[in-house]
Amino acid sequence: MQLRGTIDPDRPLLVLALAEEAARLDPRLPVLLTGMGKVNATAAVAAVLARGALPAVVVNLGTAGALHPDWTGTHEVGSVIQHDLDTEFIRRLTGQTVGAPLTLADTGPVLATGDQFIADDEARDALAARAQLVDMEGYAVASTARRFGVPVRLVKQVSDGAGTGAGRTWQESVDDCARLLAEWVADQF
């Protein structure tokens, strides 16, 4: 975890997993680098927000795999699910709802978050029935920000096709994705 800058109640806190994704952001904005995965994202966001200085909004930026071949570009997420947690089974087993989908906006794609980099065609195809995009931190960031009462937005840049070869594609595209995310931020804030 690394926090760059100072959290200000009148400005966004930009939350990204990796320095490569944040490489082109305006250095005047506060940026939290969480590390990869849901545990790292949850721990980092909770630790920073627990300090007491809350931002105007938490904006989770990052790369995402496309679960459908026609998905490219930058997308603000409408809802987010955890693809590696069987919420329905847990509800049937315990009567409790754990990890329910989170609605973030009236429109936008569904993002599936899980602690697995999807680089397999079968896994991609299975997820495609439930979502358009896949990442490793979005649900954790959204859930944690909400627990602290902070508005949250998830903005993802498609970096790869979430199938065979996705790891190589991500490495080749991450710098361009960082530039496009920085442009989105400059237009918004």
Chain segment 155-173, per-residue pLDDT in tens: 999 999 998 888 888 899 9
CATH 3.40.50.1580 assigned to domain 2-188? The reply is yes
134 backbone dihedrals φ, ψ, rounded to 5°: -140, 140
| Residue 91 pLDDT level (bands cut at 50, 70, 90) | confident
Q: β-strands 74-76, 152-160: how paired?
A: antiparallel
pTM: predicted TM-score of the whole model, two decimal places = 0.94
pLDDT at site 88: 84
3-state secondary structure of 142: helix
Question: pLDDT exceeding 70 applies to what percent of the chain?
Answer: 100
Which of 49, 53, 74 has its CA nearest to residue 141?
A: 49
DSSP, res 123: H
Q: Would you list the domain boundaries of the chain?
A: 2-188
3-state secondary structure of 42: helix
pLDDT at site 157: 98
pLDDT tens per residue across span 106-152: 999 999 999 999 989 999 999 999 999 999 999 999 999 999 999 99
Radius of gyration of the chain (CA): 16
Contact 143, 42 (CB under 8 A): yes
Question: pLDDT exceeding 90 applies to what percent of the chain?
Answer: 84
116, two tokens: 């697995």
Nearby residues of 4 by Cβ (< 8 Å), 6 or more positions away: 27, 30, 31, 32, 33
Tell me what the mean pLDDT of segment 39-63 comes to: 97
